[in-house]
């Protein structure tokens, strides 16, 4: 997984009174079972601070979590999510089989506002040509209108504007620049879904996650090399992952935890929005636009089900000896709201 250029801060939400969405349970949530392995990889961990998340990750001994956790959870920007989203996180932590059927009501005007202010101010505009500073003029009226369109089903995702960045080896990596309103809504949905998936993702997953970075992955690698007997190291890279992601499997993986048809409809809209390049629209059969706000989370969900759960079970049941896994994104940017 390579760098994503449009990742922004995880915004905070002002406290609200809405409870977590109703959910149902599944007897088989994933295609391989999730099993913890004593002292090596915790299935779930606290992201209260970078030190604890690194030390409760791959290769390190587990650390007891603090008793009496607060009723709200800090986000990547250090703010706190609403009570309603805290309820979603609590439900996701306590019931790993739950499929959340009512999530869109957490997408409020307040959350859209926080999502807007978490975006990069100087980011290039998408096909709409609207910049961050232009949208800020009359922001409240714009956000109220956007909120209404999302909840009425009238919101339409625009195609991403295709741009390329030159790599050192001469290869041009395609990026997709989303329209500003698409970025806002995607960031809001990411904030909601993070409450679920941050309780599901495994300890050795470091890329594009709140409070985690390449430095934490290096810390876990250093610990494994210094504290464990190492015979072999395997380094693997997924080339063109964002471009080749299977869209139908992406939806199937999301549906393991999300049963709100309105959230699923939004994700389908973004996957089908296509790209504009030199005035021509096209819809790639595979992939999600690298550079969009939603793509890092979708990538982690996809790899969680297709790789992480599999390798975790494989190393416990069939591998000879101890196996330490560290999965990261080699170009996760420093996240800033400026």
DSSP string over 3-52: --TT--PPPP-------PPPEEE-S--SSS----BTTTB-SS---SSHHH
Q: pLDDT (tens digit, 9 = 90+) per residue, 152-195? A: 999 999 999 988 877 777 777 778 889 999 999 999 999 999 99
The stretch 297-319 carries a mean pLDDT of 95
What is the structure's pLDDT at 43? 33
Contact 302, 327 (CB under 8 A): no
Cα 60 to Cα 105: distance, rounded to the nearest angstrom: 39
Query: With left for phi above 0 and alpha for psi between -120 and 50, is residue 245 left, alpha or beta?
Result: beta
Cα 252 to Cα 294: distance, rounded to the nearest angstrom: 16
SS3 of residue 275 by DSSP = strand
- The percent of residues in the chain predicted with pLDDT above 90, rounded, is 57
Q: Tokens representing 283? A: 């819809």
| Nearest alpha-carbon partner for 61 in 303, 304, 324, 319 | 324
Largest CA distance in the chain: 62
End-to-end CA distance of the chain: 24
What is the structure's pLDDT at 29? 39
What is the structure's pLDDT at 261? 98
Q: pLDDT (tens digit, 9 = 90+) per residue, 202-230? A: 999 999 999 998 899 999 999 999 999 89
SS3 of residue 165 by DSSP = strand
């Amino acid at each position: 997984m390579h760098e994503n250029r449009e990742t922004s801060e995880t915004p905070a939400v002002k406290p609200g009174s809405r409870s977590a969405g109703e959910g149902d349970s599944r007897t088989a949530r994933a295609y391989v079972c999730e099993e913890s392995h004593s002292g090596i990889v915790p299935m779930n961990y606290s992201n209260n601070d970078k030190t604890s998340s690194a030390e409760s990750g791959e290769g390190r001994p587990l650390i007891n979590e603090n008793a009496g956790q607060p009723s709200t959870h800090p986000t990547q920007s250090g703010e706190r999510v609403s009570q309603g989203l805290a309820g979603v996180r609590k439900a996701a932590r306590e019931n790993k089989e739950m499929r959340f059927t009512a999530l869109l009501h957490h997408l409020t005007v307040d959350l859209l506002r926080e999502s807007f202010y978490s975006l990069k101010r100087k980011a290039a505009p998408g096909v709409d040509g609207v910049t961050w500073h232009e949208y800020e003029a009359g922001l409240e009226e714009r956000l109220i209108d956007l909120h209404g369109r999302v909840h009425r089903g009238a919101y339409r995702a625009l195609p991403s504007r295709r741009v390329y960045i030159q790599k050192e080896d001469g290869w041009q990596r395609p990026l997709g620049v989303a329209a500003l309103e698409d970025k806002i809504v995607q960031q809001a949905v990411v904030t909601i879904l993070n409450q679920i998936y941050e309780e599901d993702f495994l300890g050795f997953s470091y890329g594009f996650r709140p409070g985690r970075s390449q430095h934490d992955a290096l810390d876990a690698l250093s610990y494994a090399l210094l504290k464990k007997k190492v015979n072999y190291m395997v380094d693997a890279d997924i080339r063109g992952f964002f471009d080749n992601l299977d869209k139908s499997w992406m939806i199937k993986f999301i549906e393991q935890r999300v049963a709100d048809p309105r959230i699923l409809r939004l994700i389908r809209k973004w996957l089908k929005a296509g790209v504009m390049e030199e005035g021509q629209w096209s819809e790639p059969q595979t992939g999600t636009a690298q550079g969009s706000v939603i793509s890092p989370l979708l990538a982690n969900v996809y790899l969680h089900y297709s790789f992480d759960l599999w390798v975790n079970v494989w190393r416990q049941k069939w591998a000879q000896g101890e196996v330490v896994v560290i999965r990261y994104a080699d170009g996760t940017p420093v996240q800033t709201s400026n």
